[in-house]
Chain A
Amino acid sequence: MRDFFIANNISSCQGNINYKTAAILKRDKILIHKTIMKKNKYSILLPTYNERENLPIIIWLICKYFDESGFDYEVIVIDDGSPDGTFEVAKQLQEIYGKKRLVLCSRGKKLGLGSAYIFGIKQASGNFIIIMDADLSHHPKFIIEFIKKQEEKDYDIVSGTRYINGGGVYGWDFKRKLISRTANYITQVLLRPGASDLTGSFRLYKKEVLNKLMEHCITKGYVPISFVDRVYGESKLGGSEVYQFVKGLLYLFATT
């Protein structure tokens, strides 16, 4: 709007008709440009539980890459009542980055990742949703690549994958690599989903697609990502995660 007025002022100050036309053209160009840029907004969902050390860094990185790229975005932090004070840190960050960029939601207790995403989608004002881990194992620089990939063929989903050329992991020992590869292999064989990285959770979705997850999704783009194992805090992979994975796998096996 500011540019609009500036352009108008120029046109009223100048008596010369050519100046006027130029100013109007310039104004239109600005408006068109703004409309295109405004079209897409990306909402990044960050579910957190005890991530007070990682959160400032991931948000700093997200803002850095988005501000450089010029895409419109917002970060939605969904904290499950972390006892380590993650939410207090988030509030400080909100003062730095503003309420428009950083949306905070606190859900008194640990309700889990899945419900955090559902909760987050409801708060999202963007037409694209990005889900990622807040523990710095997913680098925000890939989000920009996701967006570019999405624009290539207007994909419904763009998924980060550690398993194709250019992707990878850091800080994984043999055991973890074995578990990751085995879990993915078994899933690939049993379900034949036609997706590369099933156990990863670094993806970009069209919001309406994510809302209707159970419906068909035909187009998928992949961006190779590197996965740097968390520097701060503890991994949440334990026996119960393995159990949940097997349970989910069998459920899908018997229902899809």
Chain B
Amino acid sequence: MIKLFEWLFIFFLIMGPWTAVVTNFVRNEFTKKYFTVIFCTPFVLVGAFGIISLLIIAYRVFTFNDCIEAEKELKQQIKMAKADLTKKGLKL
């Protein structure tokens, strides 16, 4: 199954019953009692997903490893390379 259909499948799995309840297509004791909870569920899910995503991204941005040593090493090697290549006859 392609990813798009996976997402659509989950979407309809949740939104189908939800629409039925919200539009009063399905009505029973349970839906009456928990109408507000059911009504809010998709919004809460989307909101929670968004917030968790933002937290994950923020955490990863702030813990992105800075390789200061790698830069020093490279700078030094650039010098070595230039010196060696000039010696071998490269015109830079």
A-to-B contact residues, CB < 8 Å = 53, 56-57, 60-61, 89, 92-93, 95-96, 136, 139, 162-163, 165-172, 174, 177-178, 180-182, 185, 189-192, 226-228, 231, 252-256
A-B CB contact pairs (8 Å), 23 listed:
A56-B82, A57-B78, A60-B81, A61-B81, A92-B90, A93-B85, A93-B90, A95-B89, A96-B88, A96-B89, A139-B70, A167-B65, A169-B65, A170-B71, A178-B61, A182-B57, A185-B56, A226-B65, A226-B69, A228-B70, A228-B74, A231-B74, A256-B2
CB distance from A230 to the nearest CB of B (A): 10
Q: Of B64, B69, B81, B90, which is within 8 A of A181 by CB?
A: B64
Residues of A within 8 A of B90 (CB): 56, 89, 92-93, 96
Query: How many angstroms between the C-alpha atoms of A192 and B3 in the bound complex?
Result: 9
Q: Of B60, B68, B81, which is within 8 A of A56 by CB?
A: B81
Closest A residue to B1 using CB positions: A256
Asked whether A181 and B57 contact (CB < 8 A) given A56-B85, A96-B85, A228-B71, the answer is yes
Residues of B within 8 A of A181 (CB): 57, 60-61, 64
Query: How many angstroms between the C-alpha atoms of A60 and B92 in the bound complex?
Result: 13
Residues of B within 8 A of A57 (CB): 77-78, 81-82
Residues of B within 8 A of A178 (CB): 57, 61
CB distance B3 to A56 under 8 Å? no
CB distance B53 to A190 under 8 Å? no
The dominant DSSP class at the B interface is helix
Q: Given A93-B85, A96-B88, A136-B74, 10 other A-B contacts at CB below 8 A?
A: A56-B90, A168-B65, A168-B66, A168-B70, A170-B71, A172-B64, A178-B57, A182-B57, A253-B4, A254-B4
CB distance B61 to A171 under 8 Å? no
Query: How many angstroms between the C-alpha atoms of A153 and B44 in the bound complex?
Result: 44
Q: Is B67 interfacial (CB-CB < 8 Å)? A: yes
Number of residues from B at the complex interface, CB < 8 A: 31
Residues of B within 8 A of A171 (CB): 71
CB distance from A100 to the nearest CB of B (A): 17
Kindly supply a per-residue 1/0 record for chain B positions 45-76, scoring 1 wherever the CB is within 8 Å of any chain A CB and 0 otherwise. 00000000100110011001111111101110
Query: How many angstroms between the C-alpha atoms of A126 and B89 in the bound complex?
Result: 29
Residues of B within 8 A of A169 (CB): 64-67
CB distance from B35 to the nearest CB of A (A): 31
CB distance B74 to A185 under 8 Å? no
Query: How many angstroms between the C-alpha atoms of A108 and B17 in the bound complex?
Result: 59
CB distance A170 to B61 under 8 Å? no
CB distance A256 to B64 under 8 Å? no
CB distance from B62 to the nearest CB of A (A): 9
Query: How many angstroms between the C-alpha atoms of A254 and B1 in the bound complex?
Result: 10
Closest B residue to A52 using CB positions: B92
Residues of A within 8 A of B53 (CB): 185, 189
The 9 closest A-B pairs by CB, nearest first: A168-B65, A226-B67, A226-B70, A60-B81, A168-B67, A170-B71, A57-B81, A181-B60, A170-B67
Q: Of A89, A136, A185, A226, which is within 8 A of B57 by CB?
A: A185
CB distance from B50 to the nearest CB of A (A): 11
CB distance A177 to B61 under 8 Å? yes
